[in-house]
Chains A and B, each alone.
Chain A
Amino acid sequence: AQSVTQLDSHVSVSEGTPVLLRCNYSSSYSPSLFWYVQHPNKGLQLLLKYTSAATLVKGINGFEAEFKKSETSFHLTKPSAHMSDAAEYFCVVSDNQGGKLIFGQGTELSVKP
């Protein structure tokens, strides 16, 4: 069975400093992994996805994530945080047929001025 663990429920950074949101996954096959962002009272927006191509995946708004099979990790990073990055971030794994997404519990990112 697939599962996802987001290691931090809340991360706080200062504007202009790097962002690291940690995610570990468990899967019995080569997984498809995603990061989604949810701003307050908004729907989920896809930031980026990994589907067994390049292990370093670049997404929107300057975010990127690296798939590390040996560590079963898919951490999300951004070199410099912006105030508009404050939101809830979800690490997600897809089942091997696609569609049935398994969500992590989410990491709330706060950005201080």
Chain B
Amino acid sequence: GAGVSQSPSNKVTEKGKDVELRCDPISGHTALYWYRQSLGQGLEFLIYFQGNSAPDKSGLPSDRFSAERTGGSVSTLTIQRTQQEDSAVYLCASSIDRGPGNTIYFGEGSWLTVV
């Protein structure tokens, strides 16, 4: 597609449920990133993929969070046993590859509310 596509755009879930957030990067982009934007925390790096492997998972806040990428394209971020503090906008981004100065393009985000 023309840009980074994320789904769902909005998700309300009950505390304790699992959620999956999907990201479809720009075609041909080998690097894919997940960030989280929440009040009081700003924008935080979660995980980075190069192809299907994740060399940097340092931003995942707990073992309830996991992500995978298949076929060097679509990625899924999974949050297990959601907590209220997981409420945030989850932003996916992609770039042609991982290199300093490469433009990173962001999707519009998945708004997650845990009630």
B101 A101 Cβ-Cβ under 8 A: no
The DSSP consensus for interface residues of chain A is loop
B43 A103 Cβ-Cβ under 8 A: yes
Query: Which of B95, B101, B106 lies in contact with A44, CB distance below 8 A?
Result: B106
Chain B residues near A103: list those with CB within 8 A.
Answer: 42-44
A43 B100 Cβ-Cβ under 8 A: no
Q: How big is the A interface, by class?
A: 20 to 34
A77 within 8 A of B: no
A96 to B56, CA, bound (A): 14
Please report which residues of chain A, range 71-111, place their CB below 8 angstroms from some CB of chain B when the two chains form the complex: 90, 94-106
Closest to A31 in B: B100
A91 to B100, CA, bound (A): 16
A32 B109 Cβ-Cβ under 8 A: no
Query: Which of B4, B33, B42, B100 lies in contact with A32, CB distance below 8 A?
Result: B100
B104 within 8 A of A: yes
Chain B residues near A32: list those with CB within 8 A.
Answer: 100-101
B98 A43 Cβ-Cβ under 8 A: no
Indicate with 1 or 0, residue by residue over B30-54, a CB within 8 angstroms of chain A CB atoms.
0101010000001111001000000
A106 to B37, CA, bound (A): 11
Indicate with 1 or 0, residue by residue over B94-115, a CB within 8 angstroms of chain A CB atoms.
0100111111111111000000
B100 A90 Cβ-Cβ under 8 A: no
Chain A residues near B103: list those with CB within 8 A.
Answer: 46, 49
| 8 A-B contacts (beta carbon < 8 Å) | A51-B101, A98-B100, A99-B33, A99-B95, A101-B33, A101-B104, A103-B43, A103-B44
**Which A residues are closer than 8 A to B by beta carbons?**
32, 36, 42-46, 49, 51-52, 90, 94-106
